[in-house]
A = this chain, B = another copy of it.
Amino acid sequence: MYFTSKSLRWGLRDHKKKPAMEAPIVPPRSPAGRAAEPPANCRHCPALQHCLPAWLDEAGITEFERVVVRRLAIPRHQRMFGLDAPFEYLYAIRSGQFKGQRASPGGGAQITGFYMPGELLGLEAISTGQHASEAVALTDSTVCALPYAMLTPLLGRHPPLLKQFHHVLSGEIARQQSTMLLLGNARAPQRLAAFLLDQGARSAAQGDSADRFALRMSRDDIAAYLGLTGESISRLLSMLRQDGILNVSNRAIDILDAARLREVATPLEPA
């Protein structure tokens, strides 16, 4: 039988119990109090070229730095902002890596993206003034907290800043569309292959190798991003290894045959 009536009540997927072992929430309203870091210095920031002030002139950068309240250190596993927290800051990643996730009312969670240095976190909250998702550090990280209320007037006065801000917002929309395409149309092997290729490309964008990199997230994180289970990720990685496409050593990935991996990610059309 198909779709029995009682099947309507089937719960969301939610396998192992979640110990909710996230790090304690840090009060988001006083980021400056968390770490006595030196004030931001964009000129020497390794992420500058991917960040908001990328195209600002010297005077603009100086003004921008005055707005950037302070650099923050976020240890691994710590939440930077939580669900339903009031929106006050955008966070620019200076170093490290984050995951963005949204909880479902049924207890599940979807990871909406992984974020690298130069990228902005919290963009979804501008609209409602409340964070609809949360961000968790995957590695020890540093970020710059940008008070949105002070950022806005700057945008009006510095066209390059405005342009870059819109570039970032639009890029996030485009990236999420790609993810939706994966979630809605691709089978599991294609999802994972596309994910690995994307991770490689991002690794390259940060100046590292495109086919040798370390995954910073767990199998379950990858699964929650791709709409699969951790077990499936594990099985698929084993297959790719057996096929000689990858070397996998725990979280270290070595792409041996990128061409074949691309074939897995993009199957040919049926003749």
Chain B hits for A152, CB < 8 A: 159, 162-163
* CB under 8 Å from chain B, chain A span 233-255: 235-236, 239-240, 242-243
* CB under 8 Å from chain B, chain A span 120-147: 123-128, 132-133
Cβ-based interface call for A33 (8 A): no
Once the chains bind, are A189 and B7 in contact (CB under 8 Å)?
yes
Per the bound structure, the CA–CA distance linking A218 and B267 in Å amounts to 27
A112 nearest in chain B by CB position: B177
Once the chains bind, are B186 and A183 in contact (CB under 8 Å)?
no
Once the chains bind, are A243 and B188 in contact (CB under 8 Å)?
no
Using A104-B185, A105-B266 as known contacts, say yes or no to A162 and B169 having CB atoms under 8 A apart: no
Using A8-B264, A132-B177, A236-B3 as known contacts, say yes or no to A226 and B169 having CB atoms under 8 A apart: no
* CB under 8 Å from chain B, chain A span 150-180: 152-153, 155-157, 159, 162-163, 166-174, 176-180
A55 to chain B: closest CB distance in Å? 14
Which residues from chain A sit less than 8 Å from chain B, CB to CB? Answer: 2-5, 7-14, 102, 104-110, 112, 123-128, 132-133, 152-153, 155-157, 159, 162-163, 166-174, 176-181, 183-190, 193, 224-227, 232, 235-236, 239-240, 242-243, 263-264, 266-270
Determine chain A's interface SS by DSSP, over half rule.
helix
A107 to chain B: closest CB distance in Å? 5
A164 to chain B: closest CB distance in Å? 10
Per the bound structure, the CA–CA distance linking A239 and B232 in Å amounts to 31
